[in-house]
Chains A and B, each alone.
Chain A
Amino acid sequence: MEFVWLIFLPALAALFIPTLFRRVAGIHTGWFVLIIPVVLFVYYSTYVPLTASGEHAVSSFDWIPSLGISFVSYLDGLSLLFTLLITGIGALVVLYSIFYLDRHKEKLGNFYVYLLLFMTAMLGVVQSDNIISLYLFWELTSISSFLLIGYWYTRDGSRFGALKSMMITVGGGLMMLGGFVILGILGDTYSIRELISGLSDYSGDPLFTLAAVLLLFGAFTKSAQFPFYIWLPDAMEAPTPVSAYLHSATMVKAGLYLVARFTPIFAGSSVWIWLVSGIGLLTLMWGSFFAVKQTDLKGILAFSTVSQLGLIMSLLGAGAIAYHSDDTLFRLAMFAAIFHLVNHAVFKGSLFMIAGIVDHETGTRDIRKLGGLMSVMPISFTVAFIGGLSMAGIPPFGGFLSKELFLESMVALKHFELFNFDTWGILFPVIAWIASVFTFVYSFYFVFKTFTGEKKFDKLPLKPHEAPIGMLISPIILAVSVIALFFIPNVVGKWLVAPAVMAAQPQLYSMPSEAAVPVHAWHGITSVPMWLTVGVIVIGTLLFTSIKKWQPVYGLQPEKLSLNALYDGVMTFSEKGMNKLSRFYMNGLIRTYLLYMFSFFSVMTIVVLFAKGAFELDMNSLSPITLFAVLNSIVAILGTGMVIMSKNRISAIIALGAVGYSVALFFVLFKAPDLALTQLVIETISVALFLLAFRHLPALKTHGETKKNKVVNGIIAGGVGLSVTLVALSAHSNKLVASISQFYKDTVHTEAGGGNIVNVILVDYRGFDTLFEIAVLSIAGIAVLGMIRLRLSRKESDDEKE
């Protein structure tokens, strides 16, 4: 079977959800949805033995073969790991949402359609081998995430959060597309595997680094890295199942996936290593520091997600170092990254679900109002305790192992001797350790401020009690997995993590077993990470117990200097600035617009004419000037002058008539009787029309024109006249081909059987033009009739405005 179609299974199922929601009202729609991730999880699980042996499976179908764009489902260790996370946690989240969302009050049809769309998008992102279809799915995750964050669209906060996340992630996605296109051009293929195998051909190209940076923009915005993390805390307005699924376990890891997937290509670049590890570390520190400031349960978890993603990102950066050194010390980092990624998905999912349960059962998520819930919600407390301690990195939970691996990799970094790591590398373990202390503090802050301490039940909106069992199933499963990860890390390492590491560093390993790092809970009394962890626990406990004393420090940071204020500032500035800019030049006066057009026209014409040396005056081609042509010109010029100078409209109309008649005389002078006839008639009619409309025309001087305006008008009019004259002169002097009029002269009688060349051209040689000029006249006539007859009365038009 072509398993590439399975990517689209959730989206196809989404088609039936609205019908099911409406027709089958007795059963919660989520039960039907639950089937899909479970089936997919089971199906994809069968590929685990394949990838564990270092093999991969490919299935594809062409989408636009002529452009090399296809849907390719490429299952190796890395994509399979992500696929299992997406489908597995997806199933748990759907199960949780069945009990979380009320089937009578909520628009479940919408919810599950968005969720299934998101599932397809995520599967597509992690399985695509073609970067264009990868980008397609990438943006689909942004869009479905936008829809899910704005699920309660009647709330201002939801819409704001949805818009913010959309702006930032789509902005980054577009940058990433730029990086993809550069890569596609450099490597002459859109396939990631081919890009990796042809790497040596193009890695020296100057655009290569640009592609890396653009790609990282996409990864950093999606994975909420500094300074793009700001959308994630605002995305907490989404329903909790969404937060648990998208904003902790899957979507925010798309950026990490991207970095891991492209490590084989960019690992050679020092820019890549520094950016990924440096930004990751900064995000880790920043997120863990500010998590303690939060008072909203989901806010704490959002910042903790940011911080943990930074941790994984920095490990991925460190993992790229393994390409530059044979030291096995550095090979640890990639394993640690993937292992922590699994850990984080598991414990963060459970913590979000607990936050949702607390919200659901007490009516608030404000940690200042909560406390002492342990006795009424013992199961939730147990799950939160397990998840929280795993997040803090304390045995016997999964987080401890990956935290140890993380500290070990960071300590190893300073032994790396390229790219200034030997001088600056010492910063890495120091910052990582401080961040771990804060991680410890906020984990305890989250768990113990909510569940222990004094009971303040009378202040809560609802009377707290334990959640229904159905809502607890998913967090319990996840909590059990957290413990399982601690006790059987090497099984997970062998089957899931090691194949993923091999996929992320294919040049380094030939078998997944080489990539597997034996994970031990006990490193021996002399190991550095062990003592670092002890330090974290000691200092962290001290800080946590004295939290009331130092938490006010956060009040010192003024609101104006935060990144959110920067984002808001940029948004309002661009909106107001653009508004001002358009108001500045779009002032609604036709005069101004004509000024723009004419000055642009004359400046462009004159500049181009002289810049290209196109101006030329050939005196020899001019015919002799006759006396009455001069006299007639004087008449025409005087008439024109009078049109401009006249103080009232009627003299202007008369002068215009005079100009028209002198033009007719020119036609006579240059021997064009037909033109002269027509010109005379038309001139008379238009003068009569002017008079007809005279009463409705405004007085001449109502435009409020100042002297300054007149000077500007004069200059521009002069410029236009000058440019047209120059063009006419040089066009006349540059006649390249002979006129075809000789043909008409020769054939007007023999071919067309006529004597008047002008009329024969009009109706015979080029009759089409005449046809459409007739059409123009008819349209003008009908339009005039329409304007006069079909005018809505003033009253009616007022009604229309309403």
Chain B
Amino acid sequence: MNIFIWVCLIIIFLSMLGTLIRVFKGPSTPDRLIALDGIGVMLISIIALLSIVFDTIFFIDVILLIAIMSFIGTVSFSKFIEKGAIIDRDTRR
């Protein structure tokens, strides 16, 4: 059982390194952004597996938070790439 989790962890780490190469190389910004989003998902899985290894429930909050943050981050990045700004000015003013 433990070995299985260890193998899973290592595989996820390796894929994290792989996506990091994408972040590193690009070539375009959306490539990097998708890679970063992928890293977020991998972080979630790593923390979940680590919680099993450490036999604790304290990291469940972290998992939820990463899910939210990763979403918000990706959305804001996307908006930035699309419009050049994250928060729109109130045009009616």
Chain A: residues with CB nearer than 8 A to chain B? 627-628, 631-632, 634-635, 638-639, 642, 650-651, 654-655, 657-658, 661, 664-665, 668-669, 671, 673, 676-677, 680-681, 683-684, 687-688, 691-692, 694-695
Which among A635, A661, A687, A695 has the greatest number of chain B C-beta atoms within 10 A? A661
28 A–B contacts from the bound complex (CB under 8 Å): A627-B6, A628-B46, A631-B10, A631-B13, A632-B13, A635-B16, A635-B17, A639-B23, A642-B23, A651-B23, A651-B32, A655-B24, A658-B36, A664-B62, A664-B66, A665-B46, A668-B62, A671-B54, A673-B59, A673-B61, A676-B62, A680-B65, A681-B65, A684-B69, A684-B72, A684-B73, A688-B76, A688-B86
CB distance from A298 to the nearest CB of B (A): 77
* Cβ A691 vs Cβ B43 within 8 A: no
* Cβ A691 vs Cβ B39 within 8 A: no
* Cβ A677 vs Cβ B32 within 8 A: no
With A680-B69, A695-B85 in contact, do A642 and B62 touch (Cβ < 8 Å)? no
Is the CB of B1 closer than 8 A to any CB of chain A? no
* Cβ A687 vs Cβ B73 within 8 A: yes
CB distance from B24 to the nearest CB of A (A): 5
Cβ contact of A661, chosen from B9, B39, B76, cutoff 8 A: B39
* Cβ B20 vs Cβ A639 within 8 A: yes
Beta-carbon contacts under 8 Å, B8-65 to A: 9-10, 13, 16-17, 20, 23-24, 26, 29, 32-33, 36, 39-40, 43, 46-47, 50, 54, 56, 58-59, 61-62, 65
Cβ contact of A673, chosen from B6, B58, B76, B80, cutoff 8 A: B58
Chain B: residues with CB nearer than 8 A to chain A? 6, 9-10, 13, 16-17, 20, 23-24, 26, 29, 32-33, 36, 39-40, 43, 46-47, 50, 54, 56, 58-59, 61-62, 65-66, 69, 72-73, 76-77, 80, 84-87
Given the complex of chains A and B, what is the CA–CA distance between A731 and B84 in angstroms?
47
Chain A positions within 8 Å of B33 at CB level:
654
Given the complex of chains A and B, what is the CA–CA distance between A692 and B80 in angstroms?
8
What's the A-B contact tally at a CB cutoff of 8 Å?
96
Closest to B46 in A: A665
* Cβ A688 vs Cβ B17 within 8 A: no
Provide the main secondary structure of the chain A interface.
Answer: helix
Given the complex of chains A and B, what is the CA–CA distance between A658 and B23 in angstroms?
9
Chain B positions within 8 Å of A676 at CB level:
47, 59, 62
Chain A positions within 8 Å of B62 at CB level:
664, 668, 673, 676-677, 680
CB distance from B20 to the nearest CB of A (A): 5
Chain B positions within 8 Å of A680 at CB level:
62, 65-66, 69
* Cβ B76 vs Cβ A691 within 8 A: yes
* Cβ B84 vs Cβ A658 within 8 A: no
* Cβ B24 vs Cβ A642 within 8 A: yes
* Cβ B32 vs Cβ A654 within 8 A: yes
CB distance from B36 to the nearest CB of A (A): 6
Closest to B57 in A: A673
* Cβ A669 vs Cβ B50 within 8 A: yes
With A634-B17, A668-B47, A691-B80 in contact, do A658 and B39 touch (Cβ < 8 Å)? yes
Chain A positions within 8 Å of B59 at CB level:
668, 673, 676
* Cβ B20 vs Cβ A658 within 8 A: yes
Given the complex of chains A and B, what is the CA–CA distance between A113 and B19 in angstroms?
85
20 further A-B contacts with Cβ under 8 Å, apart from A651-B32, A654-B33, A658-B36, are: A628-B9, A631-B13, A642-B23, A650-B32, A654-B23, A654-B36, A655-B23, A655-B24, A658-B39, A661-B39, A664-B62, A665-B43, A668-B46, A668-B59, A673-B59, A673-B61, A676-B47, A677-B61, A684-B73, A695-B84
Chain A positions within 8 Å of B26 at CB level:
651
